[in-house]
Amino acid sequence: EAGVTQFPSHSVIEKGQTVTLRCDPISGHDNLYWYRRVMGKEIKFLLHFVKESKQDESGMPNNRFLAERTGGTYSTLKVQPAELEDSGVYFCASSPPGQGQYYSGANVLTFGAGSRLTVL
Amino acid sequence: AQTVTQSQPEMSVQEAETVTLSCTYDTSESDYYLFWYKQPPSRQMILVIRQEAYKQQNATENRFSVNFQKAAKSFSLKISDSQLGDAAMYFCAYGWGTYKYIFGTGTRLKVLA
């Protein structure tokens, strides 16, 4: 099966510009997650979708970040306007139905390769 | 709050040798899961191995094994017979009944031919 696909793999933009990152989860995976790794630091949770609904967006840094998942398939993460501190690698992950907030098993997330964002 | 610490930013190992990557964590939970993920350069991050905290037996996956010390909150990854393809960034992660993994800062592993 195809894995989690992220596009673009690398984006370089000027401060103040807008960037949209896209994630295509594994087909049939209702749960979709966004994480971010700022250079040299840990990977941090941003938000979680169950189908098209935002289950948890507690990790979103501020209102310059907007995530959507129309139709419950692919998701986009828009940064507008981008700031220097937004630079990093944005990871998307997905997991099957049932592996959500109340799942008691070992939640195994399948990650994409990440989208590297560089803000100059 | 839960934290995960990887104290080795970079490690090197000679091909065919064994290397151990360290990871410590802090939590007040009794039931949780620990994971090691591997990300080769510009490639998908993949799950290497996982451990359920309630299991005393250390998890093993082929050449990869863990040393899980629950009381010490330590979860190290041992890679035996290292291969060039093992070169990657390795992330230790902690997860519990939900989906918010807590990751460490990563260890970059270089494999020397």
Kindly state the tokens that stand for A59. 């990790």
In the block, residue with structure tokens 């040299």: A40
Q: Which of A43, A95, A112 sits opposite B91 (nearest CB)?
A: A43
Is A29 touching B (CB cutoff 8 A)? Answer: no
Closest Cα in chain A, distance from residue B48 (Å): 11
Query: Is the model's pLDDT at A69 over the cut of 70?
Result: yes
In the block, residue with structure tokens 């091909």: B15
In the prediction, which pLDDT does B56 show?
A: 84
CA-nearest residue to B50 within chain A is: A106
Is B50 touching A (CB cutoff 8 A)? Answer: yes
In the prediction, which pLDDT does A78 show?
A: 97
In the prediction, which pLDDT does B97 show?
A: 63
Rounded-to-integer distance, Cα B107 and Cα A21, Å:
26
Query: Is the model's pLDDT at A100 over the cut of 60?
Result: no
Q: What percent of chain B has pLDDT above 70?
A: 97
Which site among A42, A54, A109, A111 would you substitute to test the B interface, given the most B Cβ atoms closer than 10 Å to its Cβ? Answer: A42
Summarize pLDDT for B43-98 with one digit per residue, the tens: 888 899 999 888 889 999 999 999 999 999 999 999 999 999 999 999 999 987 66
Rounded-to-integer distance, Cα A84 and Cα B25, Å:
30
Taking all residues of chain B, what is their mean pLDDT, rounded to a whole number? 92
CA-nearest residue to A36 within chain B is: B103
Question: Residue B5 pairs with which residues in a beta bridge?
Answer: B24
Radius of gyration of chain A (CA): 14
- Inter-residue contact B23 to B76 (CB < 8 Å): yes
Query: Is the model's pLDDT at A103 over the cut of 80?
Result: no
In the prediction, which pLDDT does A41 show?
A: 87
Rounded-to-integer distance, Cα B16 and Cα B2, Å:
35
Across A35-39, B96-100, B107-111, the highest mean pLDDT is recorded for B107-111
Is A25 touching B (CB cutoff 8 A)? Answer: no
**Residue A72, phi-psi category: left (phi > 0), alpha (psi -120 to 50), beta (remainder):** left
Which site among B99, B103, B105, B108 would you substitute to test the A interface, given the most A Cβ atoms closer than 10 Å to its Cβ? Answer: B99
Summarize pLDDT for A88-99 with one digit per residue, the tens: 999 999 988 765
In the prediction, which pLDDT does A105 show?
A: 52
Query: Is the model's pLDDT at A102 over the cut of 50?
Result: no
Residues 6+ apart with CB under 8 A from B17: B81, B82
Q: For A65-91, what is the mean pLDDT?
A: 95
Q: For A107-112, what is the mean pLDDT?
A: 83
DSSP letters spanning B9-53: SEEEEETTS-EEE--EEE-S-SS-EEEEEEE-TTS--EEEEEEET
CA-nearest residue to A103 within chain B is: B97
